Amino acid sequence: MASLNITSFAKHIDELRVFLNDQNIDILAINETRLNERISDRVVKVQGYDTIRRDRSTNGRFGGGVCFYIRSNILMLKLLVETILSSTDLDSQLLEIISTVITSWYKPPNSPHEYFSHISTLLGKLDSENVEYFFMGD
As a whole-number percent, the residues of the chain with pLDDT over 70 amount to 79
Residue 112 DSSP code: -
What are the structural domains, with CATH classification, of the chain?
2-137 (3.60.10.10)
For 15-35, write each residue's pLDDT tens digit.
999 999 999 999 999 988 888
Residue 80 pLDDT more than 60?
Answer: no
C-alpha dihedral sign at 96, 98, 99, 105:
negative
Distance CA 56, CA 61 (A): 8
Q: Is the dihedral of CA 103, 129, 125, 54 positive or negative?
A: positive
Per-residue pLDDT reduced to its tens digit, 102-115: 888 777 777 777 77
pLDDT at 123: 84
